[in-house]
Amino acid sequence: MALILPFLGNSQEIKETKVEEKDLLEILKKVVSPHSTSQKNPENAQFSAIPAAGYAMHTGWAGLVTANLAFYANKDKSTDRKVSSFATNITYTQFKQIMLPVQGNIWTTGNKYNILVDWRYIKYPSKVFGLGTGAPVAGEYMVDYKGLKLHQTVLRSIAKNLYAGAGFYFDKLWKIKELDPPIGVFTDFQKYGFETEVMANGPVLKLLYDSRLNTINPQGGAQMNMTFRPTLKMFGSNTNWKSLQLEFRKYVRFPANSKNILALWNHNWFSMGGKPPFLMLPSTGWDDTYNTGRGYIQGRYRDRNMVYLESEYRFQVTQNGLIGGVVFLNGQSYSSSSLKGYRGMIPGYGFGLRIKINKYSGANVCIDYGFGRDGSRGFAVNLGELF
């Protein structure tokens, strides 16, 4: 689930826009003030605060108030400047979840440094299932907990579009409780090692290649990202464990002379040693953007290691770019071993509608309907493309 905003603050570069392009805000503005001729200046800092709504299978309907700030920290116009941003919101959902994130993405002069901040507080009653690809739907039950996430990383340019850096991750989960586990059943959570409080802290090493100019609605380019996280008792963690995430994204115009995009995504998440807490294992919809596994509820599958693939075809419906559509296909597989034990891909597929909300940032309101196995299906509403 994501937010509906008038201006998207974490776009990497504001697009140059042709006169004939239209967006939802422009149309609404004409309805409210038909004689207005003022235009946004993309060079100015853009601040937005607005009540909004969203939907996801794991939250139900959600109401929120959101704000963001987009600006150029890089004043050197001779470079391919990337937009810096801060964004926050407070969210309350149909399932009595509370979320308060603060996220920052700062690009310094000449794009020499990229500073990333991801801080979140959550109170998060949500469904869990068993471990592995064979976890039955009938085994679902609710777990409630509170969480605090403080992640920060600084990356330095080492070549064109290539960055390397380090940071520190702090995660705390507390007041963890199983609300309605199956009666007389020793759950996978209990077998794995149930804890009422989790601390997971340590340094992080990151390598990033990103040739995209707009991360919200990429029109080309590629991204490759490697994140190695050693979580250590010396920093207050419950146990020592390590994880490695490898991510690849590619965007191709297809046909080449059109504005249609074939988007490809591969996300791999491996436990390299030790025993990560159950609620921090690789799982459906628990990537940093909560977007893997359309067609399935968050947390549907979980294990020590995950391989994920997705492709999406994005096409225009109207010539002015206001309305578009997508079709998508994904697959996820899990194993207790990083090198073996994968039992084929669990498929998901679906289609979606795109409504252009801001032609400068390229932000779309995304309304998707996904299908999975065992009768899994549902809507997701998002702002900005999912990858």
Q: What are the CA-CA distances from residue 79 to residues 9, 15, 50, 111 (Å)?
A: 20, 15, 32, 8
Identify the burial level of 233 via C-beta atoms within 10 angstroms of its C-beta, where 0-12 means exposed, 13-18 middle and 19 or more buried: middle
Please state, in angstroms and rounded to a whole number, the distance separating the CA atoms of residues 170 and 176: 17
Pairing of strands 98-107, 377-383: unpaired
Please state, in angstroms and rounded to a whole number, the distance separating the CA atoms of residues 83 and 69: 10
Three-state SS letters, the chain:
CCCCCCCCCCCCCCCCCCCCCCCHHHHHHHHHCCCCCCCCCCCCCEEEEEEEEEEECCCEEEEEEEEEEEECCCCCCCCCCCCEEEEEEEEEECCCCEEEEEEEEEECHHHCEEEEEEEEEEECCEEECCCCCCCCHHHCEEEEEEEEEEEEEEEEEEECCEEEEEEEEEEEEEEEEECCCCCCCCCHHHHHHCCCCEEEEEEEEEEEEECCCCCCCCCCEEEEEEEEEEECHHHCCCCCEEEEEEEEEEEEECCCCCCCEEEEEEEEEEEEEECCCHHHCCECCCCCCCCCCCCCCCCCCECCEEEEEEEEEEEECCCCCCEEEEEEEEEEEEECCCCCCCCCCEEEEEEEEEEEEECCCCEEEEEEEEEEHHHCEEEEEEECCCC
Please state, in angstroms and rounded to a whole number, the distance separating the CA atoms of residues 69 and 264: 29
Please state, in angstroms and rounded to a whole number, the distance separating the CA atoms of residues 136 and 356: 39
pLDDT score, position 342 = 83
Residue-wise pLDDT tens for the chain (387 aa)?
544 333 333 333 444 445 478 887 777 777 776 665 555 555 566 676 678 788 888 999 999 887 777 777 767 666 677 778 888 889 999 999 999 999 988 888 888 899 999 999 999 999 999 999 988 998 899 999 999 999 999 999 999 999 999 999 999 999 999 999 998 889 999 999 999 999 999 999 999 999 987 777 899 999 999 999 999 999 999 999 999 999 999 999 999 999 999 999 999 999 998 999 999 999 999 998 889 999 999 999 999 999 999 999 999 999 988 999 999 999 999 998 877 778 889 999 999 999 988 787 788 889 999 999 999 999 888 877 889
pLDDT score, position 73 = 75
Query: Pick from 71, 190, 186, 177: which is nearest to 126 by CA?
Result: 177
Could you tell me the two tokens for 194? 């149930």
**Predicted model pTM:** 0.87
pLDDT score, position 225 = 95
**CATH 2.40.160.50, domain 24-383, yes or no:** yes
pLDDT score, position 36 = 56
pLDDT score, position 385 = 87
Could you tell me the residue ranges of all domains in the chain?
24-383
pLDDT score, position 44 = 60
The alpha carbons of the chain give a radius of gyration, in whole angstroms, of 21
